[in-house]
Amino acid sequence: MYKVFSKLYDKFMEFSDYGSWEKQVEELIKEGQPNGKTLLDIGCGTGELLLRMTKNYQCDGMDLSEEMLKIAQRKLKHREVRLFLGDMVEFDTGYKYDIMVSLFDTVNHMVSVEELESHLESVVNSLNNGGIYIFDVVDREFMDMMFPGGLFVDNRKDITCIWEHEIEEGVDYIDATYFLKNSRGSWDKFTETYSKKIFTDIEIEKSSEVIGFKIVKKVINDKIAGRRTIYLLKK
């Protein structure tokens, strides 16, 4: 997953307001686990959030993309951060944490309630007693806004990205085509397919409670990166 996009990720995310994400997360940590010291970032990508969170916490990161983790490793080489290759649906890093986070709608990449519950079970088993989990999800309104007419196009100097979107059996599929300008001045074409699921509030709340989480807070935020709901769960 993200074999091509991993090389473009930071370019496409260069305008992301990581400072606001950090502030939002810190506010929720103060509310849910103010004495927390250890943190795992699930779906850490290229490590941009970890760079910021290592100021106050002993951090680890996990991602399904080996390519993303290689980039994160280079960024974090002067920080004491362990990085794990793993699938968020079912994982065990071998460590326990006070705080776990999963941002940028990473949770939406699971495609069923069964996968969501398996994920939450892995999270609760990896948290210390009283530990918290902070994650966000996007909704149908967000997807409709991002893909008007089922299409998203981003043209840049040396990169063109075309994402075609369709829904099949309740799962959103994104067929991505990338055109990258090479050193010869011609263009290379790459394709990848991504999947996402829009979970309802009821599905998330019921799954969280079944696994044994208490829902401490739910925040609707449309200021950071489009409309999304941020959950604070406590073990």
What phi and psi values does residue 145 have, to the nearest 5 degrees?
-70, -40
Q: 122 burial class (0-12, 13-18, 19+ CB within 10 angstroms)?
A: buried
Residue among 63, 27, 33 at smallest CA distance from 48? 63
Q: 99 burial class (0-12, 13-18, 19+ CB within 10 angstroms)?
A: buried
> Cα(231)–Cα(218) distance, rounded to whole angstroms?
5
Domains assigned to the chain: 5-139+198-234 (3.40.50.150), 141-196 (2.20.25.110)
What is the distance, to the nearest Å, from the Cα of residue 49 to the centroid of all Cα atoms in its chain? 10
DSSP lists the bridge partners of residue 166 as 173
At residue 101, the pLDDT reads: 98
> From first to last of its 235 residues, what are the pLDDT tens digits of the chain?
566 666 776 666 666 677 888 999 999 999 999 999 999 999 999 999 999 999 999 999 999 999 999 999 999 999 999 999 999 999 999 999 999 999 999 999 999 999 999 999 999 999 999 999 999 999 999 999 999 999 999 888 888 999 999 999 999 999 999 998 888 989 989 899 999 999 999 999 999 999 999 999 999 988 877 889 999 999 9
Q: List C-alpha distances in Å: 191 to 2, 146, 161, 163.
A: 10, 19, 10, 10
> Cα(22)–Cα(37) distance, rounded to whole angstroms?
16
- What is the residue whose two structure tokens read 């009821």? 202
What phi and psi values does residue 117 have, to the nearest 5 degrees?
-70, -35
pTM of the model: 0.92
List of residues 6+ apart from 152 with CB closer than 8 A: 146, 161, 162, 163, 165
Residue among 11, 3, 33 at smallest CA distance from 160? 11
Residue 192's SS3 state is strand
Q: Encoding tokens for residue 49?
A: 């959030």
List of residues 6+ apart from 63 with CB closer than 8 A: 43, 44, 45, 69, 72, 83, 84, 85, 86
